[in-house]
Amino acid sequence: QAQLVESGGGRVQAGDSLTLSCRASGRTFSTYTMAWFRQAAGKGREPVAALSWRGFSTNYSDSVKDRFAISRNIAKNTVYLQMNNLKPEDTAVYYCAANPYGSASAPIDDYDFWGQGTQVTVSS
């Protein structure tokens, strides 16, 4: 059974860095576009970053551009989200998702597999 498991969340101070990991199991995700979404309390789920399945293109939301970086290790079937200069408004549950052969700009409905989420809390 295909599964995505996030880890690395926690409570940090504004300006700190954090790296989230998403380990895939149950199938090879090398042909899946991988993405991170987040959902703050009382708000809808929004895209944060995506990496196309070929690894040639990325897509970032304007709010995290130049601060966050998405990457993947195909051998480890793991995708990462490096988050720098964190701000209180980055506080949310972060979800990893996979979309077969999708583009990095694919809408949220195209993502077939989801992790359970990991909480990131940034205090000022």
Mean pLDDT of 65-75: 95
Instruction: Mean pLDDT check: name the lowest of 26-35, 53-62, 87-96, 104-113.
Output: 26-35
Predicted pLDDT of residue 19: 98
| Cα 94 → chain centroid | 6
* C-alpha dihedral (104, 79, 117, 98), degrees to nearest 10: 40
**Is 90 exceeded by the pLDDT of residue 28?**
no
CA pair distance 35, 50, nearest whole angstrom: 4
> Could you report the per-residue pLDDT of 72-123, keeping only the tens digit for each?
998 999 999 999 999 999 999 999 999 998 899 999 999 999 999 999 999 9
Average pLDDT, the chain: 95
Average pLDDT over residues 16-25: 96
Beta bridge partners of 3: 25
Are 79 and 9 in contact, with CB atoms under 8 Å apart? no
Distance CA 44, CA 30 (A): 28
Model confidence at 2, in pLDDT bands (50, 70, 90)?
confident
Residue 33 scores a pLDDT above 80: yes
- Closest by Cα among 95, 88, 92 to 111: 95
